[in-house]
Structure 1
Amino acid sequence: MFAAIFNIGWAATQVSHMAMVNCISLNSTSRVALTSSRNAFTMVANLGLYAIALVVFGVIKAGSKEDTETQYRWIAYSSITIGCCFVVIFLMGTKEPRLRIDLKETSRARIPWVYWFRKILYYQVAMVYLLTRLVLNVSQAYLAFFVIDDLQMDQSAKALVPAIIYICSFVVSVLLQEIPWNGKRLKAYYTAGGIIWIFCGAAILLLPRDISSFMYAISVFIGIANALMMVTAISMQSVLVGAEVGGCAFVCGSLSFLDKMSCGLALYVLQSHQTTSPRGQLNNNQQSVYLSVTRYGLGLVPALCSFVGVAVTFFMELEAAGSLSKPLLREPLLE
């Protein structure tokens, strides 16, 4: 029940926040910069959670199962409290913006759902966003298990490896804000991120335990690829929306619904084979590589999704959509 309530609140927050980007500005580069900033602060929030956990683990020592439960309970309480404080600051401290430029009434009017279903670009963007979320969510779900169970690294690695990924994603997200964007660059940067993830997936599948320290280097490239793919995939939604901001909520909401359903289904299928799948073993110069479901979930699934995402992106006609080939406005839509 708690998980269901949490996801309802998370979906409402995520969709409205993603749609807000398209309402703030119609300028293509500004929209990508806002998306990059959003992704960067997401990484800051993830790192902040690690900082909270570090403080809690230092204050409360885990000597029993009850102590461990207390630790994670305080981590949850602290993160929820801090998050609620920022929500209150945003709602109470942010002045309600108003339109600086009079748009056509058709741009602000509510657009029927059927309108988007007639666009080929909608299905292409939906596929790319869905695959990108699969890459990020499935890999995050299996990362800690792979590091501890498959590679048998130190317990600290299950915190250090994700931290490296978040830091690299933060740096790349900040750098992406300084680039003037067009359709070709969106496709090129997404393709670059996808190719990096394909190589990372192959490295994860073949990584033996005795050189498990290479996982730290792989995590650097995973962080870079995550930022490149996530920022550009969300920015493609802005290309789809264009100046028709009346439909941005439906676009963001429908794509978010698809990504949550697909991620849940993918994790369910993988977990259903967790205990029944045989654990293959490959011997190469007395080195063992165990092909577990965890390794498939972290290496094979993201790599395949990245490959398909890159293929779909190749056939996109973002320039024809008109949103990035020529900026719609040179000034913000709101003030």
Structure 2
Amino acid sequence: MDTTDDSIQHHSKSVSNMHDPLINKSADISSYMVSVSGEQKITFTAFDGGNTTWDNTAPTIVDYSNVKRDGLGKREVAAYAVGHFNNDLCAAAWFTYVLYYIQDVVGLDPVIAGFAMLSGQIADGITTPIVGFGSDKCKTKIGARAPWYLAGSILVIPSFLGIFIYPGFEGGAQIAYYIILPAIFNVGWACVQISNMAVVNSITFSTQRRDRLISLRNGFTFVANFTVLTSALIIFVILSDPIWQFRVLCFLIVGLGAFSSSFYFITIKEPFLSAEAKRLQKEFKKISRTEYKKEEDNRISARQSMLSSNIKQWYHWFGEGQFYIYGMVYMMVRIAVNVTMSVQPFYLIIVTGFIKTEENPTPIAIALVPLVSYISSMIFSLFFYKKMMNALKNRFIPLFVSIIIISCGSIPYIFLNSESNIRWLVYLLSSIQGVGLAIMLNTATSLISDVIGKDDQSSAFVYGAYSFFDKVANGILIFFITAYFNKKEQPLRYIIGLIPVICSIAAFGLTYLGKVLYSERLAQLSINKK
């Protein structure tokens, strides 16, 4: 189009003839093309009663944030948000109570309890890359991820139920039972986790949309913890038999989890949503060639770490340095969260003196303290995390903020004792620590999506590989803590007071290393990218 700075050519079309599914149907508009100094811009003007009127003032640039990028409606978004809810409910009880339950309720040796945790984590770690590889290659009528989600749910529910119903086995059969069943449970858990995490890269190509889905899923992680800990608190107060306390808690978890998993499986129609996302992505490129080209140019510098265009096979990821760096970031975050959850009941009983009584055979504090932490985490994640990310514009600075908050909430744990005028501080510290861990967890999870980028062919492998290192590292570390230190006061002080701080510093350092080694590829990724 031949233009000068003062020449503007209008090209209009009637709104009634606009059938592009990408245009927001709620707006009554017509469009025209403006060319100024050779640069094309799409603009919208008012449309009234079938007559087009032109605004000859400064043109308005199309807001691409309102362009439809996927087939997700409110129902599908809600379903994805609760798709991992069953896993989260089980994990909340697993990491918070399973070691305490096996040692203090079932009565097994701490080493056996450690092996129960280790067997589950190793099984999970081995399963995740297998599930990741398998689901990337899987092609069925219900999708690539859905079969794994279904199989995993079938394994998770009965095996989790079996762990906490106390079947009454004795001797070698009892030991084998509590080592084998956690392994089965974690195999199913891994199938659900990887399929749910990986499908987000197939059902939408919008980075902003993915961040929203991840944030909602993480939000329901906190809801799950809140639900489990609130229920545990009520049950521990009402019931006096510790065996029935955990049985009732388990029945509640399984019921809620089965309902949410069914809703997800029925609602998320993976083949349709994946095809719709690809179709709308192509349409988006067509109507926004100029702006999209600029976006892609920016994304090359800020997001080239994804290397989605360079990743042709799953094993090509092994040649990418940032694949390892951000995998280590995620592993550090999970260690901080899981070790804190697992060790906290023993810290509360041994260090701060919340001991068992005849009226309360299970100390109320082991439900109340984590509950306070998760309430603060949930409130922050749902109402303040997005605002913080919009203000900071990247993934790097939030990790630095998390170091400060986690340090304030963790280090004082070292100095608490059983005196009543001091130990109440554990409630305040746990809420501060919870906010810091929430920032770190949300940021690390989003980093994984950033690493994958637009690669929807091997995304599950990446999630699986990351989960492998996470689960193995956590399993080994928690085993040694359980077997040798969870009944010793001084080690417990340092474990819960320093491990979260060390992990947060390591996560920040690794992210900074990725920034230095890979320039602006990932650490400066703006969450405002479409």
Question: TM class by shorter-chain length?
Answer: 0.7 to 0.9
In structure 2, do the counterparts of structure 1 residues 12 and 323 end up closer, same or farther at CA, with 3 Å as the change threshold? Answer: farther
Report the aligned-residue RMSD.
2.9
Q: Once the 2 structures are TM-superposed, how far is the Cα of residue 12 of structure 1 from its aligned partner?
A: 1.0
Q: Provide the C-alpha distance between the structure 2 equivalents of 1:85 and 1:326, rounded to a whole number of angstroms.
A: 33
**Cα distance change on mapping 1:194 and 1:25 into 2, 3 Å:** farther
Instruction: Return the letter of the residue paired with 2:370.
Output: P
Aligned to 2:459: 248
Contact 1:204 1:299 in 2 (8 A): yes
After the TM superposition, which of the residue ranges 266-275 and 212-221 deviates more from structure 2?
A: 266-275
> Match for 1:157 among 365, 372, 377?
365
After superposition, the C-alpha distances for 1:96-150 in whole angstroms (9 at most, x for unaligned) are: 423233469x969994232111111111111100000000000110111111210
Deviations 1:160-202 (A, max 9, x none): 1101111111112112234565996211112211332233332
Contact persistence 1:29–1:181 (CA under 8 A): no
Asked whether the 8 Å contact 1:198–1:304 carries over to 2, the reply is no
Partners of 1:296 and 1:308 lie apart in 2 by 17
Aligned residues: 310
- Which has the larger displacement, 111-120 or 6-15? 111-120
**Structure 1 residue 307, shift from structure 2 partner:** 1.6
Displacement of 1:316 after TM fit?
Answer: 2.1
Distance of aligned partners of 1:234 and 1:110 in 2 relative to their CA distance in 1, 3 Å threshold: same
SS in 2 for 1:245: coil
Q: Which residue of 1 aligns with 2:219?
A: 40
> What amino acid is aligned across from residue 294 of structure 1 in structure 2?
L
Q: Per-residue CA shift, 1:186-220, capped at 9, x if unaligned? A: 11112211332233332112234331111111111
- Residues in 2 aligned to 1:55 and 1:164: alpha-carbon distance in whole angstroms: 14
Partner of 1:282: none
1:95 Cα deviation from its structure 2 partner: 4.1
Alignment match, 2:434: 223
Is the contact made by 2:333 and 2:504 (CA closer than 8 Å) also made in structure 1? yes
Instruction: Work out which of the two has the higher radius of gyration on C-alpha atoms and give 1 or 2.
Output: 2
Aligned mates of 1:83, 1:25 — CA distance in 2: 25
Deviates more, 1:300-309 or 1:107-116: 107-116
More off after superposition, 246-255 vs 45-54: 45-54
Post-superposition CA distance 1:247-279 (Å, at most 9, x none) = 21011111111101000111122234328x9x6
Aligned equivalents of 2:367, 2:398: Cα separation in 1: 28
Partner residue of 2:378 out of 161, 166, 170: 170
Identity %: 29
5+ long unaligned stretches in structure 2? 1-179, 283-306, 356-362
Worse overlay, 259-268 or 50-59: 50-59
1:58 Cα deviation after fit: 6.0
Structure 1 CA distance for aligned equivalents of residues 479 and 229 of structure 2: 27
Q: 1:131 to 1:68 in 2, by over 3 A?
A: same
Q: Could you tell me the TM-score, scaled by structure 1's length? A: 0.83
Note the 1:57-206 alignment, pairs <5 A.
57=236, 61-62=239-240, 67-96=241-270, 97=273, 98-102=275-279, 111-153=312-354, 155-174=363-382, 175-178=384-387, 185-206=394-415
What CA distance in whole angstroms lies between the structure 2 residues aligned with 1:322 and 1:156?
A: 42
Could you tell me which amino acid in structure 2 is paired with residue 320 of structure 1? R
Q: Residue 311 in 1 paired to residue 509 in 2?
A: yes
Q: 1:251 to 1:257 in 2, by over 3 A?
A: same
Which of 246, 268, 275 does residue 479 from structure 2 map onto? 268
Structure 2 residue identity aligned to 1:50:
L
1:333 matched residue in structure 2: none
Q: Secondary structure at 1:316's aligned position in 2?
A: helix
Q: What is the aligned partner in structure 1 of residue 288 from structure 2?
A: none
Matched, 1:5 2:184: yes
Which runs of 4 or more aligned residues in structure 1 lie more than 6 Å from their structure 2 counterparts after TM superposition? Answer: 106-110
Q: Which has the higher contact order (CA 8 A, sep 6+)?
A: 1
Structure 1 residue ranges without an equivalent (≥5): 280-289, 331-335
Classify 1:28/1:261 alpha carbon distance in 2 versus 1 (closer, same or farther; 3 Å): same
Distance 1:248-1:18 versus aligned 2 partners, 3 A rule: same
Contact 2:202-2:277 within 8 A present in 1 as well: no
Question: Aligned partners of 1:109 and 1:12: how far apart in 2?
Answer: 27
Q: CA separation of 1:180/1:200 partners in 2, compared to 1, >3 Å: closer, same or farther? A: closer
CA gap of 1:306–1:325, structure 2 versus 1, over 3 A, is closer
Q: 1:272 to 1:137 in 2, by over 3 A?
A: same
| 1-structure distance, mates of 2:431, 2:261 | 31
Deviation at 1:91, TM superposition (A): 1.3
| Native 8 Å contact 2:308 2:452 kept in 1 | no
**Does the C-alpha gap of structure 1 residues 81 and 161 become closer, same or farther in structure 2, counting only changes over 3 Å?**
same
Code of the aligned partner of 2:380:
V
Q: Distance in 2 between matches of 1:181 and 1:250?
A: 30
